[in-house]
Amino acid sequence: MKIIGTGSALPEKVVTNEMLAGFLDTSDSWITSRTGIHTRHLLSTETLSELAITAAQSAIESSGLQPEEIDYLICSNVANSYVSPSMGSILLAPLGLCCPCFDLNGACAGLIYSLDIADAFIKTGKAKKILIVAAEEPSRFCNWHERETSVLFGDGASALVVTEGEGFKNFRLTGDTHTDVLYYKRSLEVTPYDRVEEKTMPLVMNGREVFKLAVRACIKDVDIILEKNGLTGEDIDLYLLHQANLRIIDSIREHLGQPKEKFPTNLQKYGNTSSASIGILIDELSRAGELKDGATLLLSAFGGGFVTGATILKWSTINYPEKKEE
């Protein structure tokens, strides 16, 4: 499998750390020193599906395919305003797609989980041209009176078109039950048989525990996937890691003993956009010409569950259409 198209979209509203310090007991210095985040883009006038459509349209356009040629849509999404229908179903008609679709909740590792499934579909011949959309609105899970979680996240969408080719080598996915460290519960209707009323509970996170789990698990994933491919840290041109916290990325980089330039980041601008984060990074770097043809990339992400995913691929240049003047 290889990537032949990329796209991303962010909400217009940019929120700085200073703006958050205006209504939360926090500061720019705390947020930047503990996370690396300076700003995040938050949904205000747009909807998540509008962002997802924009990201998907530019991915399809850059792939050179017509929407009718896409034969599967996989949508990575933790939650949106609908529990049903799926986000994938919502996107089909506006994108001009006529294919099966489903949503996958792999938390922040959802893009890598989606890529792994797409790879299996392509290998078995179940589908040939797959659109993967990762669209997330974590800002809508947070309690905005609590400084512990709300300062960390941003909203966004990314999309990749994949097809047969010599790009991806292999995947390593893991899962483990740690539901207590990171969760978001929705309200449940009372029934004649179960009268316990469940109210929506905004995101609860034990940041320190998630930090430790993330560093430990990602280091293990990276070591194992490098070994599986007979590679060392030196052989990787760029590490595209889940954009959650600069200190987590630095811990992985220090373990590998690799230079900072190999670890591009954009969390400073966007915060943690959950499963959209690696796709946004790929799209930005690719469009800026910073992903060289034949470059070896390592992707690694972790997320609530606790789940992780990692993969290695050889990059093939994508020729983006010229931007039309407005």
Which residues of this protein are in contact with ligand UT7, per CB under 6 A? 26, 30-31, 34-35, 108, 147-148, 151, 205, 207-208, 210-211, 214, 244-245, 272, 303
How far is residue 240's CA from residue 252's CA, in Å, rounded to a whole number?
11
Task: Pick between residue 11 and residue 305 the one whose CB is nearest to ligand UT7.
Answer: 305
Element of type H or E holding 93: helix 87-95
Task: Pick between residue 148 and residue 250 the one whose CB is nearest to ligand UT7.
Answer: 148
Backbone angles phi, psi at 205, to 5 degrees: -140, 135
Residue number, nearest CB to ligand UT7:
207
Q: What is the total residue count of the chain?
A: 326
- Active-site positions read 108, 242, 272
Task: Pick between residue 244 and residue 276 the one whose CB is nearest to ligand UT7.
Answer: 244
How far is residue 85's CA from residue 88's CA, in Å, rounded to a whole number?
8
**Residues 175/305, Cβ–Cβ less than 8 Å:** yes
Peptide bond just before 321 cis, omega within 30 deg: no
Task: Pick between residue 78 and residue 161 the one whose CB is nearest to ligand UT7.
Answer: 78
> In the bound complex, what is the minimum distance in angstroms from residue 134's beta carbon to ligand UT7?
13
How far is residue 302's CA from residue 105's CA, in Å, rounded to a whole number?
12
How far is residue 304's CA from residue 185's CA, in Å, rounded to a whole number?
13
> In the bound complex, what is the minimum distance in angstroms from residue 319's beta carbon to ligand UT7?
33
How far is residue 132's CA from residue 135's CA, in Å, rounded to a whole number?
10
Q: How far is CA 33 from CA 30, 77, 216, 257, in A?
A: 5, 29, 21, 22
Task: Pick between residue 167 and residue 305 the one whose CB is nearest to ligand UT7.
Answer: 305
How far is residue 304's CA from residue 3's CA, in Å, rounded to a whole number?
26
Longest pairwise C-alpha distance within the chain: 61
